[in-house]
Amino acid sequence: MTQTTLDAAEHSGTWGELVTGKYAPVAAVLAGGVLLEASNVYITTSLLPTIVGDIGGEQYYAWTMTSFLVASIITAMLVSRILTKYGSVTAYVSAFGLFAAGSLISALSPNMFALLAGRAVQGLGGGLLAGLGYALIQRALPQRLWARGAALLSAMWGVGNVLGPLTGGLFAQFDSWRGAFGLLVATSAILILLTVRVIPRTTKAQPTGAVPAGSLFLLTVAVASVSVASIVPHGFWTIATIAVGILTAVWFIDHDRRAHGAVLPAVTFQRGSRLPWVYLTVGGLAFGIGIEAFIPFFGQEIGGLAPLTAGFLGASLSLGWSLSQIVSATATSRNTVRRLTTAGPLVLGVGLVFYGALTVTTPGMWMIIGWFFALFAAGSGIGIAFPHLTVTALGTSGSEEEGAKAASGINTVFIIASAFSAALAGVLVNLGADVVNSAHLLLFTFAVAAVVGVFPAMRAALSRA
């Protein structure tokens, strides 16, 4: 695809055409899949205290997230291959089916081991759903709607961060955690029926190259290593697991670059390609996600906020992320798109710095109000850049299979970077002498990481010329 064609595609199309016009049913399936994956994480987190009180297994508390995340990354790396071999409808129905099966196993779990198995099956479906959404933008939507489609899917992660805790908290309030998983089963079934009716059937073909077993193994080990960093005893083992994760991730990149069957598209490693810069920028933006789990904690411990108010404080970052994408995706000028892409990491970093500066031992009311605005601004940094990064990835290859790899790679990189940032966040918080010091360590370190992302963002934006 030429750059002229890509730019023209960004200059037309409306939100109305996507969400209320002929493409609305397709958009509902794509967005619904990502929303299931995103909200499920927070639904389960909200339900865990109730679940543990019912079936026990407190010592495996953290493994409910690890089992889901590791399974997700495995299927996320196979999205383009499954899509090419089985076609869009079969791939989507299988993904929703796996997610529904995992939710059903979780709903019927008599003990924690059964729940962990259910979470793993859920993860297999969830990884496919998130990746398929990005990969199908290119095949299910016209080029003029790519930016808005990417913004819609990315916004679902923010919506899930708001909807998930509310849904989980509601079911937990009535001690009906099994009902929450039942709701996920029912939602998956509805989306399966919608998929069969509205998703365009893509041509099936034999994927090129062998199954990327080596890459799958290395990346799974990397994600699993950093995911257990918060589970192992603090100190040496925490550092060791993160180090293993980083080294294995580097090994994965080197192996995937030389492998015949690779996870990332071949263009990623070509001289002059903009795709590595896109992925690096996405990884930098994902560091904003690493703080989310600790925002309600800081709100309660430092600001004395009630749990519900602290929850809304955490949601302010996601709200900024979601709303800013709706505005950013309407950008039509090439120069405006470049500025938004480059400004994203900077706005995220500045927002985190302001939040950190306002985090003091005895914050007043106005400082606490400032927290909400600072986090909203930080989230906006993610939102203004993300849709344009996805469109750039979609335009890096002329073949559908490589284009699907490039687009689903956005999701893969995002999951990996989120896992690393969450692990690092846990380490930094534990290093602090008190809660305020922990907050400063986390926020200022992640602000630096975000601002560093300006440099790959500039390369990704400038290379679109």
At CA 285, angle to CA 335 and CA 228, rounded to 5? 165
pLDDT digits (tens, 9 = 90+) for 71-84: 888 888 888 888 88
Do 119 and 103 meet the contact criterion of CB atoms below 8 Å apart? Answer: no
Measuring CA to CA, which residue among 279, 368, 367, 288 is closest to residue 324? 288
Burial of 5 (0-12, 13-18, 19+ CB in 10 A): exposed
At 222 the pLDDT is 86
Q: What is the pLDDT of residue 236?
A: 84
**Which are the contacts of 49, defined by CB distance < 8 A and separation ≥ 6?**
172
pLDDT of residue 18: 87
Residue 145's CB is within 10 A of a number of other CB atoms, namely: 25
Max Cα distance, the chain (Å): 62
pLDDT of residue 464: 47
Please report how the helices 146-173 and 112-140 are oriented relative to each other, as an axis angle in degrees rounded to 10: 160
Q: Taking a C-beta distance cutoff of 8 angstroms, is the pair 182, 76 a contact? A: no
Query: Tens digit of pLDDT for each residue in 41-52?
Result: 778 877 877 888
134, 355 contact by CB (below 8 A): no
> What integer pLDDT is reported at residue 181 of this predicted model?
95
pLDDT in tens, 321-372: 888 888 888 887 888 888 998 999 999 999 999 999 999 888 888 999 999 9
Tell me the two tokens of residue 99: 């997610």
Which residue, among 170, 186, 227, has the nearest Cα to 46 in the 3D structure? 170
Tokens representing 141 are 């939507």
Mean pLDDT, the chain, whole residue set:
83
Q: What is the pTM of this model?
A: 0.75
What helix, strand, coil percent values describe the chain, rounded to 5?
Answer: 80, 0, 20
- What φ, ψ does residue 37 adopt, rounded to 5°? -60, -45
Percent of residues, the chain, with pLDDT higher than 70: 92
21-33 b/e (C-beta count within 10 Å ≥ 16 → b): eebeebbbbbbbb
Let me know: does 387 contact 154? Beta carbons within 8 Å: yes
- Considering only residues 61 and 98, tell me which one the structure prediction assigns the higher pLDDT: 98
Burial class (CB in 10 A: 0-12, 13-18, 19+), 210: exposed
Q: Is the pLDDT of residue 125 over 90?
A: yes
Residue 345: the pLDDT is 93
Please choose, from the candidates 165, 152, 181, the residue with its C-alpha nearest in 3D space to the C-alpha of residue 33: 152
In the chain, ranges of CATH 1.20.1250.20 domains: 1-207, 261-465
3-state secondary structure of 84: helix
Q: What is the mean pLDDT of residues 316-322?
A: 85
Helix H segments across 365-399?
Answer: 365-394
| Model confidence at 383: pLDDT above 70 | yes
375 token code pair: 């986090």
Please give the class, per CATH, of domain 261-465. Answer: mainly alpha
Please determine, for residue 8, whether its predicted confidence score (pLDDT) is greater than 60. Answer: no
Predicted confidence at residue 2, as pLDDT, reads 43
**Would you say residue 409 has pLDDT above 90?**
no
> Spelled out in words, what is the top-level CATH class assigned to the domain 1-207?
mainly alpha
Residue-wise pLDDT for 159-189, tens only, equals 887 788 778 878 877 888 999 999 999 999 9
